[in-house]
Structure formats: C-alpha cells, structure tokens
Amino acid sequence: MEQNKRVAGSALAALSALTLGVGMMATPPVAQAQSSSSSIVDEAGSSVNLGSEMGEVPERDAPVYRSGLPDVEPQGEPGTVLAEVPLDVNVGLSSASEQYRIAYTTVDQHGKPAVSTGAVYLPEGEKPEGGWPVLAWAHGTVGQSDECAPSINPLWPVEEEYLNTFLDEGYAIVATDYVGLDSPGFHSYLNGKVAAENVVDSVAAAHQMDATTDTEPVLADEWAVIGQSQGGGVALHVAHRATELSEDLEFDYRGGMATGAPAYVENLLLTFGPSFPPMPLPEIMGTYMLYVLASVYEANPDIDFDSALTDEGRRMIAASEQSCLFEVGEAMEGVNLARAFKKPLREVPEADAAIREFLATPVSGYDKPVFLGHGLFDSDVPTPIGVILNSSMWLRQFIGSPRNNRVVVRWYPADHVDTMNESTADSVPFLDGIMN
C-alpha cells in the first residue's frame, strides 16, 4: 500500500512538473472519440486510459454538530457578527478555555453579501493586557457539501494537535468555514480572493462577539493568518491583501504562515481535455481537480464551459457537490477526468484568462513576513510545486517590484498532512517574533 502510494505520488509529481513547464505547456492532441471503453487513441496514436466511469457517491455516515446556531440572513457591513453560541463539545479543542460557533456577514464569489460560519477558540490562562493575540486559521479541503463544514465536525487529530499548539502558546484562534459550507450558496473552492475576505471578516466578527466585548479587550488588535493545504493558499491570499483589508477595521496585521500551499493549479487545469491526463490520477487528486473545475464553472456563468464538457462531465461536477472529500474520492477511484471533456478547456473562448484570474497565487507584493513550510514527501501538493512557489517568493525579497518583505522557507521529511505539526518547531518562534 505504502509503496503504491509512493509510486502514485512520484507519477503525480512528474505530471505536475511537466505541466508547470509549459504554461507553461502546449495543448495535448485532441482524442478522436470517446466511448464507454477503457481507452482511446489520440491523433498522435498514443493511448489514453480513460479508466472507469465515476461511481455513486456514498452517503456520509457521520453525525454533524451544529451547536444550535440559528439560520440568519446577511446584515450590516462585512464582519458583522450575526449569531453566536457555545461550540458543541464534540467538535471543540481540548486546550480552549471557551469556544463558540458564530455566523457573520461577508461576501461570496460574486461580490454579493453572504453569511459564513466559523469557530472561535480562546486560550486558557490569564488574559494579557490588551487581549489575546489572534490567529486566523484557514482550513484545508473538506468538500463541497454543507455537511463538510469544519465547525460542525470533529477535527482531524493532526489538526487538533496543531491548533492546540497555538492555543497553548496563548493565541486565540478564529476559524472560518468559508462561504457555502453550512451556509447558503456555493463553496468556491481555491478562490483565494473571496476566501481571503471570508477570513478577514471572521476576525472582525470575532472582535464584535458578546463573549469578546468586555470592559477590557478579550482579543487584541494584533493578528496573523495560518493555513494548511487549500488553507495554505488562502493564507497567502490573505497575507497579500491583509494590510489593505484590515486597515479600515483598525486591526494590526503582522504576517502569515502557509504549509502545503497549492499553486500553479491553473496551468494543470488548462491542460485538461479528452486526451489529458493520459491516465487516471490518484482519486484524491482527481477529486481536487473536479472541485476546481466545478468552482471555475460556477464563478464564470458567461463563459461557455459547457462547450468543452461531455454529459458525463456535467454529471461528475454535480456529483462532486453531494458529499465530502473522502466520499467523493471513493467515487472517483480509477476515473480519468479526461472523460469529462469533448475538447480541451483552453479552446473555450476567454477560459484561459478566467482560469488564471481565478486560481493564480501571487508571488510578490507581500508587505509583512511570510513563513512557508512544505513536506519533501508531499503527494497532494507535489514537492516540485512547492519548490517553484517557495523559491519564487523567497527570491522576490531581493529582486523585482513590488518586493516581498521577509520570506522564511522550511522543508520537512514529511507528507502533506504531517508537515503541519513538523513545522511548529519553526513556525511557533516565527509567530512569536512577528507578534511580539
């Protein structure tokens, strides 16, 4: 099993590196035809393994804990807290002294007022003068369905350990679910720009809660952002805009930290078509890309993505919204996303620019310090992607315009998930340095 995982990871890393190289890469040959058979032959005579059709997405067999949070409509300016309740103990953090679930006003991917939910965790011990410094936590991929929202589910043990570390260090944590996860609307996956606003608005809302507004401040004005995986990309978008976004709120943004951050996904997505990929990707990677495709499609209703999609492709997109990551991943086992296309995505008018605008991760213009951690054995965000992103951001401390403030890069002998806790030996001192 582990050997197979490593082989799949190596193949994926090679595929990622190839994709990054062309643009970064020429459009693959268009397949002659698609059928229900397991393979096709493209115009160059190469075989494309289409794998199997997407299976039924299994029902999720896990309880959710909504903590009694009422349904609310967006009101007021972004950052307005709309409701707050004690967080259900089944989804809490063991190091928190108090913890809450909140709903607040923010914006969606179309720039319209929207509601997001989230959790707020306060540390134990004596509150410092001026209040607890705040960490905004940007979570990783959970899925597209409402039932996937982190604030209604127990955290993974690795996430719990990670967040408890920062609570134990005396940081309050504000953890948005992002719009569309247990709140009305669509979760615009890897839409870093809108997720950044969801994060900043969650920090504003946390400062407005009844539980944090006392005669003396419970939460300090100083804050930073931390994120893993999808949330690592979100953290970078937050870090790129946080000074601007929080200035009017009179908060003091100090810096950001991202582990396992995805990047250059636009280059990979733009290669997809009826003869690419040439074989099924690992099911989790296929699920990620299906989420990306669904989100780009939903965010750009004026672009004719339907012209590139097969009927099967449209069914796959619809199915991806039915449950959470591992359930959809199970249905995607052995499926080649090439089945979803009747022509390459990049041949759709205006698709190239829209996809790049939606997915691109900024590499320069960070006005506060950034910490980047990546695993050497990461197959979810393959190491070549981390090398290129991290190197680009590090170099732009010294060249180009606008330059980055300070970029710290660390590598760990770990996979995608375990990098979080491996990194704390370096990230805790980094945060202490920028927050104090």
Q: What are the tens digits of pLDDT across the range 191-238?
A: 999 999 999 999 999 999 999 997 889 999 999 999 999 999 999 999
Q: What is the mean pLDDT of residues 121-136?
A: 96
Confidence of residue 250 (pLDDT cuts 50, 70, 90): confident
Residues 6+ apart with CB under 8 A from 21: none
What does the pLDDT read at residue 388? Answer: 97
| 66-87 mean pLDDT | 98
pLDDT at 104: 98
Distance CA 42, CA 271 (A): 15
Q: Is residue 273 within 8 Å of residue 343, measured between CB atoms?
A: yes
Classify 81-263+362-435 by CATH class: alpha beta
Amino acid at the residue 13? A
Q: What is the pLDDT of residue 5?
A: 39
Q: Are 186 and 194 in contact (CB under 8 A)?
A: no
Q: Output the pLDDT for position 33.
A: 34
- Quickly count: other Cβ atoms within 10 Å of residue 85's Cβ: 14
- pLDDT score recorded for residue 46: 55
pLDDT of residue 38: 53
Give the pTM. 0.91
CA-based radius of gyration for the chain: 21
DSSP state of 358: H
Nearest CA to 361 out of 387, 391, 393, 408 is that of: 393
Q: Is the pLDDT of residue 16 over 70?
A: no
**Mean of pLDDT values over 137-146:** 97
Higher pLDDT, 13 or 308: 308
CA neighbor of 110 nearest in space, from 186, 178, 177: 186
> 């928190």: which residue's tokens?
96
Please compute the mean of the pLDDT values over residues 134-162 and round it to a whole number. 97
* Range with the poorest average pLDDT among 5-14, 154-163, 172-181, 279-288: 5-14
- Whether residue 21 has pLDDT greater than 50: no
> Per-residue pLDDT averaged across 98-123, rounded?
98
pLDDT tens per residue, range 352-407:
999 999 999 999 999 999 999 999 999 999 999 999 999 999 999 999 999 999 99
Averaged pLDDT of the chain: 90
Map residue 381 onto helix, strand or coil.
coil
pLDDT band for position 114 (50/70/90)? very high
Which pLDDT band holds residue 47 (cuts at 50, 70, 90)? confident
Confidence of residue 249 (pLDDT cuts 50, 70, 90): confident
Kindly report, as residue ranges, where domains of CATH 3.40.50.1820 are found in the chain.
81-263+362-435
pLDDT class of 244 with cuts at 50, 70, 90: confident
Percentage with pLDDT > 90 across the chain? 86
Asked if pLDDT for residue 1 goes beyond 60, the answer is: no
Confidence check: pLDDT of 12 > 90: no
Q: What is the pLDDT of residue 44?
A: 40
d(CA 424, CA 239): 19
Angle at 66 between CA 60 and CA 71, to 5 degrees: 115
Alpha-carbon distances, residue 261 vs 174, 324, 386, 412 (angstroms): 19, 20, 7, 14
pLDDT of the residue at 245: 84
pLDDT of residue 40: 52
Question: pLDDT, tens digit, for every residue of 282-339?
Answer: 999 999 999 999 999 999 999 999 999 999 999 999 999 999 999 999 999 999 999 9
pLDDT of residue 272: 97
Task: Say which DSSP state 360 is in.
Answer: P
Q: Which residue has the higher pLDDT, 30 or 337?
A: 337
